[in-house]
Structure 1
């Protein structure tokens, strides 16, 4: 094993596991109320600058060879609705019995990077006894983006999610009068699906009022309406429920703790069969979880889906330690930049802090639940006249599959995983098809299909739930990239998003192979690179420049197995508007 060279690096202590001071956006509330398709999502943290560190362990890595048309270099593998208001009280169901010291980046020139999970044929130990509790993979579904949905739309979403390893939807509910009707449609579609697909309410407290007792009564009505529904997620004998935010809600009481306790979790309405297992996404310091003892049965760590602590300023501070910066253009330094920033994607510090916070809470007779987040992307581009949200989170370095790998490494301590999201088009982290009612995000969402990530989800979701990576049974190729260069200029009055400098002009690739194969990637006629990969899920990347395209193939035994070249993608040098969303393409053998 080659020892790692350890660097002391400055980071930001306010990760998603530390107190988050929520930055109020400048959206106009009356504008939002008159546009029911808009969902106010305010999750950009104001970061506190101080020091933190984590250690990335070194590992032995079997060598592989990558070749290019212009050079040969060494690469490494790392093994590892209705429009009318609907009364909730009018709906009822019958009971049912089913119920970061960062390891210094290697400065050797590498024209591309590649890594792979353990080969599919590698033996895996059975889950330990602590792992035998059922694990769930849930997708966050924003009801506020479903205004035109019919029952068939819900049925299609449920069938598609279920076929790709998703166990249920967290129904993000806001304040629009039509949303209860769509929630009812979702439950009806689930009951008619012929599956055990689960649903639960996730109250969006950035949209729902929570100043008085009547506001809490609305939440309780949702719970009691669906508590006995056969597709409601029942967890540890109780009705599972969650939130987005809500840590400041008082419901007319003296504090948020008193409000949530007396008006929700401990309210007489929510007893017996209506008792809740409450796992909110409260944006508070994990060290204060104990104050929510009679409120929280667990926690959803929403911001764990992205390395939110990594900003342009943070990155440049870190990179200065290795003589680099985000504007580096020398190839060897560019490789250092990429390898250094990728360490942020691998981190699980936030997960550990949240889990520790739960473990320090007084015992309530049950192990409290930790729900981690996983997300493929984040870009939002709203002007000051609308939501005033124009920023990205770092999502390069194969964020989605890499986060899944981290969840596998720590699955003993993770009870549920929530995918952010199924359909949040405004923040570009959807894995479902683009349908329903977009929140004025068409400029950066239309034509930017993400269902390749949904198809990829099945492999990782099955691995997380089983405790072992499944064999790859069909060769597949997934490729994604932004539609234009990082430094491109556009006549866009909204301007470039904050932290755009973190991005790379790269095509990110995952090749899932049933047996050893040769993968060839090209982004221009003069940039073609070939990799010999083992069986399993192989993470590759290749640079791209203006005018470039995506083209990838998998070959075995001289035969073409997969050939993927999306004709509707060109990497632009002079875009009309700024778009840091991802274009995702995928293909399987014989497809």
Structure 2
């Protein structure tokens, strides 16, 4: 099961950014705020409790507070959810879980369908590792705006499913793909999750406009924002018929965090999209479990090096203060093939392929000023970089191997030559996934 991200078209805004240094977060905004990651239960068919335990411990070590368990209609998923809660309890990490009903998969036409959701909620309502917000178990969705559960209105429908009379109260933060202007007529919501805020919905740099629209229409209710490092899906018409990118240029993974930090007072929670959705290429966890026929663009494209980069921003968002830079590091990511090059691929180029440039994106963490050199074949750039966190980039123009060097007082302190990070001008397929590395 793979959820399809619904397109919301917004006006073209913003422009690409050059080399910049991250601004500080004001200390007076310091207040602990949760960060969770979306987890596709549908990709865990072969999982055991030990698989869950590994993922939970890894996520917790990077500052992630919990997983939003994306649940579909497969009957076996109930057992995997039970394993997840058991693993969380045995992990001794304080890691939490909550249910995120995937309504592009689950049925929602009848009162019995609502009862099935209630049964899930009851099963984990009092679990010690149930994620709670404002003292109540958090419940979310992917979609659900077309559900009625045998009721007349959307609000009545979801009240019957998650807040029935005499039922167990929950904190309901759905991701409905509706006009935010309709939120005033949906009192069943305790807030909203904006799934598509994780990426620009057109050919423009990331901005906070969609978030602002949500916040202004929630009337003080809680806003859960999305952040995502990437988006590429490449299914042909004979399978899921999903073949497009969302714009991920201009250091999206960093830019999005910067915007969330700048508007931290408006954002109650952040949900990272995703831990393990391989089909849409925005996974940050290990490549494990059962891929949804995405091996051709996922295998060999590890994203875990992003986790340490995310950890820095997660801590800043949760606490309101950036952690100190304790060592020099370089984080790099790019597509491995030119966007405009032809490939022997029957699926064809993804929609939106003109949104992306052939550029190596990077972020440098420095304990003190240094000279940073990025190189790939004939493309070489050396720059003086200040202490702190700095965004860097390098055009990719020819078949080459990526390298980054950090030199301070004539001494090489970082020499990063990531294995497999080779840009090729002769792509074997239209693979727009990211190759990610960290020194």
Report the TM-score, using the length of structure 2 for normalisation. Answer: 0.97
1:299 aligns with 2:152: no
SS at match of 2:213: helix
Shift of 1:226: 0.7
RMSD: 1.6
For the Cα contact (< 8 Å) 1:140–1:420, is it kept in 2? yes
For the Cα contact (< 8 Å) 2:316–2:323, is it kept in 1? yes
Please give the alpha-carbon distance, in whole angstroms, between the structure 2 residues aligned to 1:127 and 1:548. 47
- Consecutive unaligned residues of structure 1, counting only runs of 5 or more, are 1-38, 54-99, 107-112, 312-340, 360-366
Please give the alpha-carbon distance, in whole angstroms, between the structure 2 residues aligned to 1:559 and 1:538. 20
For the Cα contact (< 8 Å) 1:480–1:583, is it kept in 2? yes
Q: Given the alignment, which residue of 342, 345, 348 partners 1:492?
A: 345
Please give the alpha-carbon distance, in whole angstroms, between the structure 1 residues aligned to 2:134 and 2:9. 36
SS at match of 1:552: strand
Shift of 1:46: 6.5
Q: Aligned runs of 1:73-84 on 2, under 5 Å?
A: none
- Consecutive unaligned residues of structure 2, counting only runs of 5 or more, are none
Cross-structure match for 1:43? 5
For the Cα contact (< 8 Å) 1:486–1:505, is it kept in 2? yes
Cross-structure match for 1:116? 21
Shift of 1:231: 0.9
Shift of 1:546: 3.1
1:349 aligns with 2:209: yes
Cross-structure match for 1:126? 27
In our comparison, the structure showing a higher alpha carbon Rg is 1
Please give the alpha-carbon distance, in whole angstroms, between the structure 1 residues aligned to 2:6 and 2:123. 33
SS at match of 1:377: coil
Please give the alpha-carbon distance, in whole angstroms, between the structure 1 residues aligned to 2:9 and 2:255. 24
Q: Aligned runs of 1:79-228 on 2, under 5 Å?
A: 100=13, 113-118=18-23, 125-128=26-29, 132=31, 134-228=32-126
Please give the alpha-carbon distance, in whole angstroms, between the structure 2 residues aligned to 1:504 and 1:517. 27
Cross-structure match for 2:380? 528
Report the TM-score, using the length of structure 1 for normalisation. Answer: 0.72
Shift of 1:402: 0.5
Q: Aligned runs of 1:155-554 on 2, under 5 Å?
A: 155-270=53-168, 275-293=169-187, 295-308=188-201, 310-311=202-203, 341=204, 344-345=205-206, 347-359=207-219, 367-524=220-377, 526-554=378-406
Please give the alpha-carbon distance, in whole angstroms, between the structure 2 residues aligned to 1:276 and 1:44. 26
Please give the alpha-carbon distance, in whole angstroms, between the structure 2 residues aligned to 1:582 and 1:415. 29
For the Cα contact (< 8 Å) 1:127–1:466, is it kept in 2? no
Please give the alpha-carbon distance, in whole angstroms, between the structure 2 residues aligned to 1:552 and 1:523. 9
For the Cα contact (< 8 Å) 1:235–1:277, is it kept in 2? yes
SS at match of 1:532: strand
Please give the alpha-carbon distance, in whole angstroms, between the structure 2 residues aligned to 1:458 and 1:542. 24
Cross-structure match for 1:13? none
Please give the alpha-carbon distance, in whole angstroms, between the structure 2 residues aligned to 1:148 and 1:562. 39
